[in-house]
Amino acid sequence: MKLTHFDEEGKARMVDVSGKPPTSREAVAGGSISMKPGTIRLIKDRQISKGDVLGVARVAGIMAAKRTPELIPMCHPLNISSVNIAFDIDERESTITIKTTVKMTGQTGVEMEALTATAVAALTIYDMCKAVDKEMVISNITLLEKRGGKSGEFKRRLKDEG
């Protein structure tokens, strides 16, 4: 296994993808934010004073996916064709699960864009709700799936799948 963001002398570099053929790329990332039951109810009932928490978090995540190369130094600027962010509210566990899917056709993958979008969506939820709940916990930001490119398909196994 070789790290691709270092040259022969160990210096950081942006990977040269100019010789790679463009292929269809897709990445799915997930994450969660846990909070007090009352905070979940306020979000669900749209009673947070800053506005529609999940609507704003969705837009923030989409913007973050498009701006990933400005945040992560070795990421390539990409012509993203689609970003979809879904939220699942689990009132019993007081958790919101975030699932982000990013698609494009190009010479490099969109894993970082999906992960960044998920992280920023979670951070936006935190920002919009921190006045009522400073104990929220953002966790499990992870790549769930990826398709396309030289390395092919990846799908994370869930713990109960062995």
Report how far residue 11's alpha carbon sits from residue 94's, in angstroms, rounded to the nearest whole number.
44
7 is catalytic: no
Contact at 8 Å (CB) between 100 and 83? yes
User: Among 52, 127, 133, 160, which one carries the catalytic annotation?
Assistant: 127
The residue length of the chain stands at 162
Report how far residue 99's alpha carbon sits from residue 36's, in angstroms, rounded to the nearest whole number.
21
Rg (CA), the chain: 18
Cα distance from N-terminal residue to C-terminal residue, the chain: 24
Please give the structure tokens belonging to residue 133. Answer: 């709940």
**Nearest by Cα to 145 from 157, 137, 136, 154:** 154
Signed CA dihedral, 100, 113, 139, 50: sign only: negative
Catalytic site residues?
Answer: 127
